[in-house]
């Protein structure tokens, strides 16, 4: 999907017909892309994948709806979609973390900080 198509789909999802919020919604789409990549989806490409486009739309919709309730947790549907996307990317080996320079292995602790 192109940027214009993402914006149109987001507006449909949010039931917005006016153009008054287009700049803000565009910023939310851009922020959603950044946040999703930060979560671990390094191969995210909404222009080539309908699944990725829908993930961006869902994430941007959640960001928009947080205006009314900033402490609301991420919807379960979005969390599952995000986790599934991250796990499928990792399972396919699309972006494995680099090996430590000394040849040792990473040790993951309960905190997940590698220490």
Does 74 map to a domain?
A: yes
> What range does the domain containing 76 cover?
3-92
For residues 24 and 31, give the distance between their C-alpha atoms in angstroms, rounded to a whole number.
10
Contact 82, 48 (CB under 8 A): no
For residues 91 and 1, give the distance between their C-alpha atoms in angstroms, rounded to a whole number.
25
Model pLDDT, residue 92: 81
Does 99 map to a domain?
A: no
Number of domains observed in the structure of the chain: 1
Model pLDDT, residue 101: 56
Terminal Cα-to-Cα distance of the chain (whole angstroms) = 41
Contact 72, 95 (CB under 8 A): no
Residue carrying the six token digits 């991420």 = 74
Does 63 map to a domain?
A: yes
Contact 108, 114 (CB under 8 A): yes
pTM here is: 0.76
Residues of the chain predicted below pLDDT 70 = 94-115
Does 59 map to a domain?
A: yes
């Amino acid at each position: 999907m192109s940027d214009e198509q993402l914006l149109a789909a987001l507006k449909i999802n949010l039931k917005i017909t006016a153009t008054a919020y287009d700049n803000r919604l565009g910023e939310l789409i851009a922020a959603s892309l950044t946040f999703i990549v930060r979560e671990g989806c390094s191969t995210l490409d909404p222009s080539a994948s309908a699944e990725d486009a829908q993930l961006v739309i869902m994430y941007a919709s959640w960001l928009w709806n947080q205006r009314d309730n900033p402490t609301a947790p991420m919807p379960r549907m979005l969390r599952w979609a995000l986790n599934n996307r991250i796990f499928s990317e990792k399972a396919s080996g699309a972006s494995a973390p680099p090996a430590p320079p000394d040849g040792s292995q990473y040790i993951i602790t309960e905190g997940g900080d590698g220490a």
